[in-house]
Amino acid sequence: MNKSENTQLVKKIAKDLAFDFCGISKVEFLAEEAPRLEKWLKENKHGQMAYMENYFDKRLNPALLVDGAKSVVSLLYNYYPSQTQRSDAPKISKYAYGTDYHEVIKNKLQDFIFRLQEKIGAFNVRAFVDSAPVMDKVWAKKSGLGWIGKNTNLINKDQGSFFFIAELILDLELECDGPIKDYCGTCSKCIDACPTQAIVAPYIVDGSKCISYLTIELKESIPNEFQGKMDHWVFGCDVCQDVCPWNRFSKTHHEPLFNNNRGLLEMTDTEWHEIKLDTFNQLFKHSAVKRTKYLGLKRNLEFLKLRSN
């Protein structure tokens, strides 16, 4: 099969596996991102996420992750829900309502690779879902799936930003898709709405101030300076996406595993604050919320109580 046929096959498999968007870019060193990443790290905007300092070269060059890498296939998988939590309950990010996306998408990517190799034969490839030193939003942008907004999320012109991003890095030469322009314009809704002012400038987020960082990545006590600023979030935060005008085009996801069937969305404020370890383990057994662990969730819930005391 030639380059064009391989490209068409990749796009077809992506569609067959229900990925919402698929784009392809050429493997190259990310020269434009290198100084930005270095500056961001030097200014400690990654907080205690020490892993962000690791594998600096690999983050900027996929050829160091896969021998002979020629192409990056970027994939978007929608997680926008049809229902949200009760308005009086502590809030968790929409992406965590159902089964952990790592489990769901990794299985799809393995199926993707199997189908591709069944048609083409053996080739070098690795699959990534937010779990390795890959600048997924940059590659998605380069492949034309959207632009990186002022909140640093990838925004798709057709359906907004409520997507998981995944990649296949492979040693096949494929036809590339070109990037699209930035459509944020003069809008500053995400910057204005951020409860902790974590978006310190357009396209720059101070991760150490982000509610997602404070409720998930931070392992110590949440600093007192954030009292009264958490906007009732206890796992992640969707504010900068919820206010983004492009998300008026969001469509309900098509993945049954992302639906919550354990009563999570109906939990009251009291039920959240009285949650016990066994309930936590049952409710979040296959959920991304397990990342914060029981004690982390209780810490976040207690921090909300401080606001009202």
Nearest-10 Cα torsion for 81, 87, 91, 92: -10
Long-range contacts of 297-302 (CB under 8 A, 24+ apart): 297/234, 297/235, 299/221, 299/222, 300/90, 300/215, 300/222, 300/230, 300/233, 300/234, 300/235, 301/90, 301/234, 301/272, 301/273, 301/275
Q: Which residues on neighbouring strands pair with residue 160, listed in sequence order?
A: 156
Q: Is 123 left (phi over 0), alpha (psi -120 to 50) or beta?
A: beta
Task: Report d(CA 154, CA 146) in Å as an integer.
Answer: 6
Contact predicate 90/174, CB 8 Å: no
Task: Report d(CA 157, CA 82) in Å as an integer.
Answer: 20
List the structure tokens of 136: 């997924």
Alpha-helical (H) ranges within the chain are: 3-16, 33-42, 56-60, 101-120, 136-142, 189-193, 211-212, 239-242, 269-273, 277-283, 293-308
- Which letter does DSSP use for residue 291 in this model? G
In a 3-state reduction of DSSP, which class is residue 24?
Answer: strand
Q: Which of 111, 130, 171, 231 is catalytic?
A: 130
Helix (H) / strand (E) element for 77: namely strand 71-78
192 catalytic residue (yes or no): no
Q: 102: Cβ–Cβ under 8 A, 6 or more apart, which residues?
A: 129, 130, 131, 288
Using the structure block, give the residue that is written with the tokens 């459509």.
183
Write out the catalytic residue numbers: 130
